[in-house]
Amino acid sequence: MKHVLLILAFLVSGAIPLQAQTSINDRTKLSKEQVLAHVDELKKLIDEGIWPTYNDPAYSMEMNYYEDGPFRMHLVQAEANTEARMECSSPEITMQAVPSVKTYEEWYAMLMHECFHGFQYKHKDFWNKMLASTPEDFITSDSLKSIKQNYEWYRDMLSKENALLKKAYEASTIDEVRQILSDFYPIRNERLRAVKDRLGFDIIEYYPLIETMEGSARYIEYRLACEQGIADTDWMTNLDSNSYYYASGLYLMLIMDKFGIPYKDELFLKYYTLTEIIQDKIRI
């Protein structure tokens, strides 16, 4: 069981009206009070328009906001059996540490992504399952990125899998989706078994959970970014990136959205992975 949880992710999504992007600079600098007031507004808007119960008090947690010191943007549990909290640097500190973040809208998106990890953390059965499934030699999910970078056979298998996932998203009917995903999952299972057989890492249970955890947080980020008018969202859906399991989880959710498949009230409670819920809902 890991007692220090650092879950980093850059950018989020929410539900606010389309508006001009506001650069982060001294001329437009917002006060701490202004920033945090808008954070509260965004949580309510996401709850109402993107993910019901996102702002439910049962799933909220303490947030520490820093206007100086090193960059922080993560969920942390410092001691065993203590409540987790959000550590959050100001937009100005974030911009210096992460140059790709240039506007307040992008910073809010990043924070809402991380806050969704807090939402997940409050669903204890899901969170404990996530921790219990993590292979001993995996310090963080970055180990999945290393496997992709270091092994051509893994990249080849992943490429076939992701081509089918994208095809499923582009399908016109739910019957097409069902047929494509019926081909997709055996290829995925083969890849996960190959990692265990060739490298000794058992990620068969872990992978669908990390995909669900990061893919759903990316979903919040993506939806908020779209509604805020952030133009550059292609990187969020890039299945060829090193963060491919963020994008694949996002795609599974967008497929369910596209075909009107309900899932948000059951994910993390009745179902713990996107794999389980989509297979059950469309009867693969």
Give the pLDDT confidence score for residue 135 in this predicted structure: 86
**Maximum distance among all Cα pairs of the chain, rounded to whole angstroms:** 57
Confidence of residue 49 (pLDDT cuts 50, 70, 90): very high
Q: Which residue has the higher pLDDT, 17 or 115?
A: 115
For residue 258, is pLDDT > 50? yes
- Residue 172 is predicted with a pLDDT of 97
| Cα separation, 169 vs 252, whole angstroms | 8
Residue 56 has pLDDT above 70, yes or no: yes
Question: What proportion of the chain, given as a percentage, has pLDDT over 70?
Answer: 89
Nearest to 199 by CA among 248, 251, 153: 153
For residue 189, being part of any structural domain is answered with yes
| Residue in the block written with tokens 């220090």 | 4
Residue 15 has pLDDT above 50, yes or no: no
* Domain assignment of residue 19, yes or no: no
**The residue to which tokens 């509260």 are assigned:** 40
* Residue spans of beta strands (DSSP E) within the chain: 63-66, 73-76, 85-89
Tens digits of per-residue pLDDT, 217-243? 999 999 998 888 887 899 999 999 999
- Whether the CB-CB separation of 177 and 282 falls below 8 Å is answered with yes
State the pLDDT at residue 199: 93
Say if residue 62's pLDDT is above 50.
Answer: yes
Residue 112 and residue 16 in contact, taking contact as beta carbons nearer than 8 Å = no
Give the range among 6-15, 170-179, 227-236 with minimum mean pLDDT.
6-15
- pLDDT confidence tier of residue 19, bands split at 50, 70 and 90: very low
Q: Does residue 122 lie within any of the structural domains?
A: yes
Q: How many domains are there within the chain?
A: 1
Q: Please indicate, yes or no, if residue 216 is contained in any of the structural domains.
A: yes
Terminal-residue alpha carbon distance, the chain: 33
Its pTM stands at 0.90
CA–CA dist 32, 62 (Å, integer): 16
User: Which of 73, 78, 128 shows the shortest CA–CA distance to 101?
Assistant: 73
pLDDT band, very low/low/confident/very high, at 81 (cuts 50, 70, 90): low
In a domain, 108, yes or no: yes
Mean pLDDT of 195-210: 95
Residues spanned by the domain of 255:
32-281
Question: Is 56 domain-assigned?
Answer: yes
Q: Is residue 20 part of a domain?
A: no
Evaluate whether residue 192 is within a structural domain.
yes
Average pLDDT over residues 15-21: 42
